[in-house]
Amino acid sequence: MNVDSIRAYCLAFPEVTEKLQWSDALCFRVRQKMFAVLGLDQVRLTFKCTGEKFAELIEREDIAPAPYVGRYKWVILHRLDALQTDELRDMLRQSYEMVAANAPKLGVRKPSREKKGLKKKASGKTRAKKKKRKKP
């Protein structure tokens, strides 16, 4: 796959947006959560994968744990042909699905404390402020 085909494939998923970030990185997001990053100047691809697949992929040539996010099971492909087209598409789809499953729904607000029934109850005790009397 090349840059254009990866971009087209990622944008075909529902609710996906793209944003150029960090000067040369095209970030693909679902509901504001990244699922893939495509480097443009120095062509490379980063995406999330399962723990089992992560262990398998980092054993291959030109694939490594992604800088900063490798501990969250993200890999970086230093060459786009490090994986066959079908396998790369499958990995991108899985990354999208994992991130989409945990991404918050846009436009849905969390209920406030009052709506959850967690409103603080007044103790019934009020303290009256003491007025200072001026001595005559």
CA–CA distance, 95 with 72 (Å, rounded to integer): 12
Out of 3.40.50.300, 3.90.1150.30, 3.40.50.620, 3.40.1010.10, which CATH number does the structure's domain 3-105 have? 3.90.1150.30
Q: Which residues sit opposite 25 in a β-bridge? A: 21, 39
Q: Extract the runs of DSSP E, i.e. beta strands, from 23-98.
A: 25-30, 33-39, 44-48, 63-65, 74-77
Give me the mean pLDDT over the 26-44 stretch.
Answer: 88
The C-alpha angle with vertex 101 and arms to 99 and 106, in degrees rounded to 5, equals 90
CA–CA distance, 131 with 20 (Å, rounded to integer): 63
What confidence tens digit (pLDDT) does each residue in 62-103 have? 999 988 888 889 999 998 888 899 999 999 999 999 888 877
Question: Exposure pattern of 83-100 as b/e (b: 16+ CB <10 Å)?
Answer: beeeebbebbbbbbebbb
pLDDT at residue 89 in the model: 93
pLDDT at residue 120 in the model: 53
The C-alpha angle with vertex 103 and arms to 49 and 110, in degrees rounded to 5, equals 155
For residue 136, pLDDT beyond 80: no
Give me the mean pLDDT over the 13-20 stretch.
Answer: 88
CA–CA distance, 75 with 15 (Å, rounded to integer): 23
| Domain residue spans of the chain | 3-105
